[in-house]
Structure 1
């Protein structure tokens, strides 16, 4: 560490490491809105400690972290280091991977920058897991995130972040809490659908009481939609993260077309394939959550909120008026995590 290093302490922060993006909260607020930011969930490995610099000799936006002897670069500039076939970490054990930890430390890095500190202490950190992996992995994730996190490579420590306590919550619970902070849930039956990159989660509540037997997740999301389209065109493109992101962006934006190389592809030609994935996810949700026409309100959040929300309205016109699409779906969960942490901190339950 630098001899003139600065230190800071904060009460609560939150992180949501997703398959596509890593979101995190910061200390400032705009009105009542919690400030949050994100970067792509990429953690390219480097065999040596030498970074890649651009022509102006400025390093990419992000940080190096070393885990089990391997250097990872994470942050907003991680794309500088990514190879065309850079693998992404998927699967139910996602939160146990070193890449997940690297991206979480990238979020901690930006929190320290926000506090202008080389050494940062966080009293309570709130993180989330999909409903289908929560029971199996929440204790392991809490243990892994608790304690000291070093930013730097090859023994050169640039920042030190210490996490005193960790709370792991089901991801859609964050959206419920964030939604409930501005909506009177009363005794209403509410269904929250979290359309993420790798999973489709759902959460049923009566008022603010979670009905756990009707919560769950399905291991398909927006990534499955993009992958289904790519498989029809050129399966080998699935190994190129930039192509996957391009197709995903077109689907989320309901674009007329997308371009790969010198070819333009009309999205309408693949609509049935996309809808088949969406239908599969919705059908799985209904088999666990129960009939959706008995819900007083349905909130659709997550990166694929517009896609899933519009599909749900189209397929179920009788409930269309009750389907609410989150205005800021990317940050809904992580902001809810922050609120959960602040409530716990005030109650002394951290």
Structure 2
């Protein structure tokens, strides 16, 4: 019987996870790292109103997570931006939401990511928390036999080596992987697939800081508090201007300028 191996990276901005594999192809998906708490499980919706979310029970609360979580959004987006993120119920809800969406009742090895600076501090506790049986909502459970926590940038190195068929030769190479995330800016120096610890680290600055700075500039511009970081993020990714007070706001001045030829 083939072992089932999956990976989840619960970032501050998005939760990324492996859906499945087909030959050498690895299929992935993601959803926003937002978990909305409620005192009861989400009610059943009609087919026309159904959203792609799941209510995860954590303690005495239920946390709704998933690709359509924006449909339950309120005016406040509670985001966990601190070093104890992996110890929060929101983190566990997001991870279990990803497990639910994988549609596997048993996972032999679950790989999870940590910022470089927190790897040795949080690795053992996170692996222990991930191992065992998880209630993933809707009366379903997922059993994780073994968990492995790695530095977040290391996944990019493993993917590169696999895609370019360098697994056999990368042991003699030194690599630098840079990972600008939502909360942390990580860099990892590796010899082969092994981390060079004293040359690798992470810094608590990321895209969330950029979004807040842009929001502050928009606030000055319009003369009213503006905090819709998701709209700014979408505009930067797609080029589509955000609508503020029923008017399209020109965000191009915050976009990277093309180099003159």
Instruction: Please give the TM-score of this superposition, normalised by the length of structure 1.
Output: 0.65
Q: Counterparts of 1:99 and 1:27 in 2: how far apart (Å)?
A: 24
Cross-structure match for 2:13: 20
Deviation at 1:233, TM superposition (A): 2.1
SS of residue in 2 equivalent to 1:193: strand
Structure 1, unmatched stretches of 5+, are: 1-7, 272-306, 315-350
Q: Counterparts of 1:36 and 1:256 in 2: how far apart (Å)?
A: 25
Deviation at 1:226, TM superposition (A): 0.9
Q: Counterparts of 1:61 and 1:269 in 2: how far apart (Å)?
A: 35
Are 1:267 and 2:251 counterparts? yes
Answer whether contact 1:148 1:160 (CA < 8 A) is retained.
yes
Write the mapping of 1:293-332 to structure 2, written as runs, cut at 5 A: none
Structure 2, unmatched stretches of 5+, are: none
Cross-structure match for 1:190: 175
Deviation at 1:57, TM superposition (A): 5.7
Cross-structure match for 1:174: 155
Answer whether contact 1:226 1:251 (CA < 8 A) is retained.
no
Instruction: Please give the TM-score of this superposition, normalised by the length of structure 2.
Output: 0.85
Answer whether contact 1:109 1:151 (CA < 8 A) is retained.
yes
Write the mapping of 1:57-68 to structure 2, written as runs, cut at 5 A: 58-68=49-59
SS of residue in 1 equivalent to 2:101: helix
Write the mapping of 1:1-350 to structure 2, written as runs, cut at 5 A: 11-29=4-22, 32-51=24-43, 53=45, 56=47, 58-112=49-103, 115=104, 120-152=105-137, 158-183=139-164, 184=166, 185=170, 187-234=172-219, 236-238=225-227, 243-253=228-238, 255=239, 257-270=241-254
Q: How many residues align?
A: 251
Answer whether contact 1:223 1:248 (CA < 8 A) is retained.
no
Residues 61 and 50 of structure 1: CA distance in aligned 2, closer, same or farther (over 3 Å): closer
Q: Counterparts of 1:175 and 1:160 in 2: how far apart (Å)?
A: 29
Deviation at 1:186, TM superposition (A): 6.3
